Amino acid sequence: MKPLDRTATLRRFAAPAAICAAILVAAYVRTAEGTRHPSPWGYRLWSFAALAYSDILALHEDRGAGRHPLPYVEDKVEYPVLLGIGMWFPSVLAPDRGGYFALTFALLAACALLSLWFICALPGTQPWTWAASPALLVYGALNWDLFGILPLAAGLWLWAAGRERIAVAVLSLAVWTKFFPILVLGIVLLLSLRGPRQRTLELIAIFLGVSLAVNLPFAIWGWPRWTWFFEYNRIREIEPSLYLLLGADGRGFVTAANTMSAVAVLAAALAIAAVELRTRRLDLLRAACALVCLFFIANKVYSPQYWLWVVALLALAAVPGWLGGAVSVLALADYAISFTRLHLQADRVWAQA
């Protein structure tokens, strides 16, 4: 499956991009009012009630609403290195809350539109599933996940274009932005076995080289703070997920949930590998969509913004439009329910204070 040329891509891109841009503007308008609520607790009370919460503003307030400490050197961050840098960099250029949020959102919006371009450039995909999704309205400014979705989409486009080395390098950047794209990279390396083994080894070396270049400076200068991402995710309590729905203890079941999640994802990965090694006809985009979505289901935490990844992967995997639309409606409902619940909890805490 070769990508479309620039003219054909532009024809597919123009109308969805206009709608996508309008949704992103609306997303900014509905969340930017939070810059008027300066205290961390005051912001959370307002944003939960208004259904307009953003980690971007909340964590900026938690870090003093100014220039952030340098991640992994001066401060521990619960995200991989590139996302930590993405959080920090706008605070250097625009440390006040209004400027920080505006600059961060502009970068995220650019990532959303560029991701749409790469979706449009791949034949058979569903650009409207991504461009018109209300998930962008409510989750686009919730966290920094669009920073990871862009290199994922770009890497898959590069792979389809036959630029395998650059594709793996870009997918490696996606890994160190959000980490679970390593599942997609694994499928790409599996498909590389269709050619000479030496090529696969070369691609693995590229991944290792990019990983060292991105991580080694921070690991050397701030080992305890750099390792916090891994430690935090190991000890993190169970949050909204399949495990809580089944009645698991949010604290006591953590180790078991970690094990069960790893086993489920590994079993699915082995099944995908078996299909590819037997048939040599595995569809990269659909396999990537299936494996990442299974990871979300099996994980002990389902962060609300994961819906953005689901919608993007469904668009890439060319699922029927009605299914993409149904998922977007579910994403919207999940947002409303989750933050209404947080609003009610915050009101109870405030009443007891």
Domain membership flag for residue 345: yes
CA–CA separation, 52 and 349 (whole Å): 19
In a domain, 318, yes or no: yes
Q: Give one word for 72, left, alpha or beta, with left for phi > 0 and alpha for psi -120 to 50.
A: left
DSSP E strand boundaries for the chain: none
Q: Worst-scoring range by mean pLDDT, 99-113, 206-220, 327-341?
A: 327-341
54 lies in a domain?
Answer: yes
Q: Tell whether 1 is covered by a domain.
A: no
Inside any domain, residue 236: yes
Q: Please, are residues 134 and 326 in contact by the beta-carbon 8 Å criterion?
A: no
Q: Is the pLDDT of residue 197 over 70?
A: yes
Instruction: Work out how many domains the chain is built from and give that number.
Output: 1
Mean pLDDT of the chain: 94
Plot region of 65 (φ>0 → left; ψ -120 to 50 → alpha; else → beta)? left
Amino acid at 222: G
297-323 average pLDDT score: 95
Q: 343 falls in which pLDDT band (50, 70, 90)?
A: low
> Do 115 and 4 form a contact (C-beta atoms < 8 A)?
no
Give the span between the Cα atoms of 69 and 75, in whole angstroms. Answer: 6
Instruction: Classify residue 117 as exposed, middle or buried by CB count within 10 Å of its CB (0-12, 13-18, 19+).
Output: buried
Range of the domain at 142: 6-352
What integer pLDDT is reported at residue 174 of this predicted model?
Answer: 99
Q: Supply 236's token pair.
A: 């993190």
Looking at residue 41, what is its pLDDT?
A: 82
